[in-house]
Structure 1
């Protein structure tokens, strides 16, 4: 109800459970989907996975009371581009919808801290060489800048290439590394310590 009052956001559907939500997303193909981790009939993680398979272009934001690291990892792994706790203000939710719709990722600050701490613990240097072999030098440059929080326009400016070229590089990176979202790419880059490489 509050989101419908926002001039640049149109609510195209609502559902009471994960199965109905998935079916609605398939039929309406929305730009952004808000899900909860805990939903009747189908969990948010399962719904997230099903929606990304059916409507790959849809951006998914988890809006939930769960501050469990496991829920965060599972939803991001299955394609979620945002993770907000329900204590977020309506302005923060609306802004998250805009940011995620533009291709960025957004996580509640308290959850981002948990995510970073976890991936600091999980560094596996032995995989770096494999990643470097998979990605071109330019793709590694793009991945590092994306992982530092730059959007496509900023990456393009930094590397003196077009925004479209950046989008193509990001798509190739996700395909090569078998990832679903920019957020997963950031997590991967941190885990593989790619930000520390020269």
Structure 2
């Protein structure tokens, strides 16, 4: 099945441009579009797309507010932020509330398509030039997860270490000689045990707790 995508941006020309690019990709299907955050939530409830591509700065309701509302929605839609805003705080807030990816509007079309595929597969997509800034923000976040490391199995700690190095599920599977499906199951268990919403937060935790050295992330 193709990856179903909802495109949300208040600039019609840009929104239609993104849709035009995605319509040429065989494994991606644009199922809808919206011009503001409030409309995005309504359409997500109706269509439940695999991936929501969304700007942060929008009228009526911002992208951050939409992501926060997702915590109360029983949908599996993953969020990829596509924005011109490179402010550290905006990145931190987007990831904190559950965004799986964050890319800049100047991104190459092929890289955007790849980002959509990775987010749909449950991977995190953070530009390398912003990753360290985001890590610094998240490491300052007060967390009770430090005492939860004991709840992880030895294999889960190995997977967490690879997450901290920024590796994809495929790379982790190859390095640990296990299947990608097994990696996904381990990542899900890690997030549940550490009470985290996405793998980016888990990667930051791995760095903060010394499971992997900070300079190995990128």
Q: Deviations over 1:84-103 (max 9, x none)?
A: 11111222211211121122
TM-score with structure 1 length normalisation?
0.86
The 5 Å alignment of 1:48-127 reads 48-118=67-137, 122=140
Gaps in structure 1 of 5+ consecutive residues: none
Distance 1:160 1:87 in 2: 37
Runs of 4+ displaced beyond 6 Å: none
Match of 2:159 in 1: 142
Native 8 Å contact 1:122 1:191 kept in 2: no
Native 8 Å contact 2:51 2:78 kept in 1: yes
Q: CA RMSD of the aligned region, Å? A: 2.3
Q: Which one has the bigger helix percentage?
A: 1
For the pair 1:38 / 2:57, whether they are aligned, the reply is yes
Native 8 Å contact 2:53 2:82 kept in 1: yes
Deviation at 1:117, TM superposition (A): 4.8
Greater displacement, 181-190 / 9-18: 181-190
Give the count of matched residue pairs: 193
Query: Alignment partner for residue 176 of structure 1, among 193, 201, 206?
Result: 193
For the pair 1:187 / 2:209, whether they are aligned, the reply is no
SS in 1 for 2:101: strand
Distance 2:107 2:177 in 1: 37
**Higher relative contact order at CA 8 Å, sep ≥6: structure 1 or structure 2?**
1
Native 8 Å contact 1:60 1:81 kept in 2: yes
Native 8 Å contact 2:145 2:195 kept in 1: no
Deviation at 1:56, TM superposition (A): 4.4
SS in 2 for 1:13: strand
For the pair 1:4 / 2:27, whether they are aligned, the reply is no
TM-score with structure 2 length normalisation?
0.79
Native 8 Å contact 2:149 2:194 kept in 1: no
Match of 1:166 in 2: 183
CA gap 1:186/1:11 in 2 versus in 1, 3 angstroms: same
